[in-house]
């Protein structure tokens, strides 16, 4: 990525830069880009600051979200505003496309090579070369084998210190940071998570319900960890020992080997002066705690590298076809759509033996999972709660898949012994103070951040008044998956913060309890007069839940409310709601 290649302040002296950037959350830049983006927005930068820079931008996004590829679009405009000259039109990759983001990437790369050839006067049409003429680049890592466990004593893989060291070791080799940095072990963060004790794991849905949702509580102990309603809890999942063993057997790896991982290019190793980085780790730690072997699907480059190591001719030919432009759609059907894991792909091509250096480079990193916090720290001192929907689905070939983290969490049994989970907090939705009325829409586990918010308002209402809250909740069946039913109904009574007597209200939609499906958007239209009154009161709107269709359907329902109750045209109603977005009174948190 761009941030690994050039320091932000030196961008003005560059002649050519290629930017690959994703959009996260609801139109947010990825964490690695935030400092870069903040720098680009400085008012002191002139419209000629990048007059010497030629650039190209490719965005990675998902059209299922309202803010589709907005970061790539904003970056392209900002670079242009600062005097940069685009060499080709920006590309926008869409994960919803039947062939994935490669459907846009392939033609964009053709244009990029053509433009670069024109600029440099040298041919860059690498895509036209045959595989026989393409040499494999050297891996970006060097692996130094130190000793085996028979020669030195090692810590167990669950040792957080060794896991942290493994992550930092790879970050060092990746040049993830442009300056030397030490970890402040007094701060709970991704590089220093807190091992929180799980104290409760309770299923909220009925045992035979189609959906499985759990309420999970953690004790924060003496961590000092704090959070606010709207924040998210990051959880680093654990991988199955069976899968880890299967992966190491398939790849002929010695789990007890002690290794150091270094950058192949020393100039990119910003941790050379960190003595802690000279401490090796076991191969098992790298596989189990860093490499996502059994939930992430490999990208096309993974298969391209595999083709160079295949010794069986039929496997080599199949891999080369998959990574060719002609095989792109078949690759998508085989890999992404079926959600094949790294381990499954490797097992499908048994003649391929990838060295550890390439495995570390190609296997996706194990990523934390974010869950909206569903508790108030005021109501539950020294605790944090999350609401976890166990992910389970069937692929086009009818194979059952399970979410890595949600399945792992759901199976933990704190009543049978102490269980510790690595966690940290991330800022999320920012709710206004208690004087602003709220219109909340949260079907399914989308209710989680609103449980935290309403608990906080309940605690505040004891000592002072709070503004009205109108909450629309949705689930499939009242008897099966009415999450936190007793809490909502208690707060909908006359003395509760959701009561109609206080200007608010609680409205539930049960989609499968009648022949015609009823969703939250239908309830919004049904109570259009009350919704319009709330909108007119100067409320803020918050929508949380599935990103597939719900946010767009809720927006459309609110449009109809404004049209009907406000006597406005469709265009005027849409502009009215868009104005709420611009002034920070319409927020969406979708996943």
Q: How high is the mean pLDDT in each 10-residue block of the chain (591 residues)?
A: 54 90 83 87 92 94 83 95 95 84 87 88 55 69 74 49 83 59 65 92 92 97 95 95 96 93 66 57 93 92 95 96 89 90 97 96 94 97 97 90 96 96 93 96 97 97 93 96 97 93 96 95 97 97 91 95 96 95 91 83
Residue whose entry in the numeric block shows the structure tokens 């409320």: 539
Are 315 and 456 in a shared domain? Answer: no
In the prediction, which pLDDT does 482 show?
97
Are 472 and 330 in a shared domain? Answer: no
Where a domain ends, among 341, 362, 383? Answer: 362
Whether residue 282 lies inside any domain: the answer is: no
What Rg value do the Cα atoms of the chain yield, rounded? 26
Compute φ and ψ for 497, nearest 5 degrees.
-75, -10
Closest CA to 506 of 566, 451, 583, 574: 451
Answer for the pair 214, 204: CB distance below 8 angstroms, yes or no: yes
Whether residue 18 lies inside any domain: the answer is: yes
Alpha-carbon span 550 to 520, nearest angstrom: 9
Beta bridge partners, 143, equal 261
Whether residue 425 lies inside any domain: the answer is: no
Are 454 and 584 in a shared domain? Answer: yes
Neighbours of 548 (CB within 10 A): 13
Cα distances (angstroms) measured from residue 288 to each of 345, 354, 405 = 18, 17, 14
Whether residue 141 lies inside any domain: the answer is: no
Are 358 and 471 in a shared domain? Answer: no
Alpha-carbon span 477 to 481, nearest angstrom: 6
Whether residue 566 lies inside any domain: the answer is: yes
166-183 per-residue burial string, b: 16 or more CB within 10 A, e: under 16: bbbbbbbbbbbebeeeee
In the prediction, which pLDDT does 500 show?
94
Burial of 187 (0-12, 13-18, 19+ CB in 10 A): exposed
Closest CA to 372 of 472, 446, 471: 446
In the prediction, which pLDDT does 147 show?
67
Q: Which helix (H) or strand (E) holds 524?
A: helix 520-526
CATH code of residue 325 = 1.20.990.10
Alpha-carbon span 575 to 542, nearest angstrom: 18
Q: From the centroid of its chain, how far is CA 87? A: 31
Are 312 and 443 in a shared domain? Answer: no
Are 352 and 466 in a shared domain? Answer: no
Answer for the pair 412, 419: CB distance below 8 angstroms, yes or no: yes
Are 357 and 445 in a shared domain? Answer: no
Whether residue 250 lies inside any domain: the answer is: no
Alpha-carbon span 60 to 71, nearest angstrom: 9
Q: Please count the structural domains in the chain.
A: 3
DSSP three-state, residue 97: coil
In the prediction, which pLDDT does 298 show?
93
Whether residue 271 lies inside any domain: the answer is: no
Are 35 and 122 in a shared domain? Answer: yes
CATH code of residue 89 = 3.40.50.360
Neighbours of 461 (CB within 10 A): 16
In the prediction, which pLDDT does 95 show?
82
CATH code of residue 511 = 3.40.50.80
Q: What is the pTM of this model?
A: 0.86
In the prediction, which pLDDT does 1 show?
35
In the prediction, which pLDDT does 567 show?
94
β 369-372/281-282 pair status: unpaired
Whether residue 426 lies inside any domain: the answer is: no
In the prediction, which pLDDT does 178 show?
41
- Structural domain for 86, as ranges: 2-128
Are 358 and 483 in a shared domain? Answer: no
Where a domain ends, among 128, 152, 174? Answer: 128
DSSP three-state, residue 508: strand
Where a domain ends, among 325, 347, 362? Answer: 362
Residue whose entry in the numeric block shows the structure tokens 């496997």: 315
Residue whose entry in the numeric block shows the structure tokens 């060097």: 142
Are 6 and 123 in a shared domain? Answer: yes
């Amino acid at each position: 990525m761009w941030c690994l290649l050039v320091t932000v302040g030196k961008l003005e002296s560059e002649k050519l830069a290629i930017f690959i950037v994703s959009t996260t959350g609801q139109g947010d830049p990825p964490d690695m880009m935030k400092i870069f983006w903040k720098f680009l927005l400085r008012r002191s930068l002139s419209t000629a600051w990048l007059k010497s820079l030629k650039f190209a931008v490719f965005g990675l996004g998902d059209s299922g979200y309202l803010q589709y590829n907005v970061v790539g679009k904003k970056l392209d405009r900002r670079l242009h505003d600062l005097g940069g000259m685009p060499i080709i039109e920006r590309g926008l990759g869409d994960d919803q496309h039947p062939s994935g983001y490669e459907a846009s990437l392939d033609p964009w790369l053709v244009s990029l090579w053509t433009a670069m050839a024109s600029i440099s006067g040298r041919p860059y049409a690498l895509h036209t070369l045959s595989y026989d003429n393409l040499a494999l680049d050297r891996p970006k890592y060097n692996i130094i084998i130190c000793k085996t466990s028979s020669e030195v004593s090692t810590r167990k893989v669950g040792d957080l210190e060794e896991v942290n060291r493994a992550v930092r070791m790879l970050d060092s080799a990746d040049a993830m940071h442009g300056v030397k940095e030490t970890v402040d072990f007094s701060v709970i963060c991704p590089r220093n998570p807190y091992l929180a004790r799980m104290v409760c794991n309770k299923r909220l849905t009925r045992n035979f319900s189609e959906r499985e949702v759990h309420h999970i509580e953690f004790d924060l102990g003496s961590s000092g960890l704090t959070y606010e309603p709207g924040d998210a809890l990051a959880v680093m999942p654990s991988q199955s020992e069976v899968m880890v063993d299967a992966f190491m057997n398939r790849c002929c790896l010695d789990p007890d080997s002690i290794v150091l991982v270094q950058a192949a290019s020393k100039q990119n190793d910003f941790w050379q002066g960190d003595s802690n980085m000279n401490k090796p780790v076991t191969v098992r730690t790298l596989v189990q705690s860093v490499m996502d072997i059994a939930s992430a699907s490999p990208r096309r480059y993974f298969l391209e590298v595999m083709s160079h190591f295949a010794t069986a001719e039929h496997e080599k030919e199949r891999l080369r076809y998959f990574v060719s432009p002609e095989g792109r759609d078949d690759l998508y059907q085989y890999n992404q759509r079926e959600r094949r894991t790294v381990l499954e792909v490797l097992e499908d091509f048994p003649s391929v033996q990838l060295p550890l250096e390439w495995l570390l480079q190609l296997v996706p990193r194990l990523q934390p999972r974010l869950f909206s916090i569903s508790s108030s720290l005021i109501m539950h001192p020294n605790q944090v709660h999350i609401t976890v929907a166990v992910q389970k689905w069937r692929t086009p070939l009818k194979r059952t898949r399970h979410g890595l983290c949600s399945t792992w969490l759901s199976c933990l049994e704190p009543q049978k012994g102490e269980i510790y989970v690595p966690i940290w907090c991330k800022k999320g939705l920012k709710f206004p103070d208690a004087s602003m009325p709220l219109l909340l829409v949260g079907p399914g586990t989308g209710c989680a951040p609103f449980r935290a918010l309403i608990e906080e308002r309940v605690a505040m209402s004891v000592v002072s008044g709070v503004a009205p809250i109108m909450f629309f909740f949705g689930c499939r069946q009242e008897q099966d998956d009415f999450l936190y039913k007793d809490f909502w109904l208690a707060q909908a009574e006359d003395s509760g913060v959701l009561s109609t007597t206080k200007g608010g209200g609680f409205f539930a939609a049960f989609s499968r309890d009648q022949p015609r499906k009823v969703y939250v958007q239908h309830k919004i239209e049904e109570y259009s007069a009350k919704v319009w009154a709330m909108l007119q009161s100067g409320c803020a709107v918050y929508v949380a839940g599935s990103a597939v269709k719900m946010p767009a359907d809720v927006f459309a329902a609110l449009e109809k409310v404004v049209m009907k109750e406000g006597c406005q045209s469709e265009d005027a109603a849409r502009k009215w709601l868009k104005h709420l977005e611009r002034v920070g009174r319409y927020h969406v948190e979708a996943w």
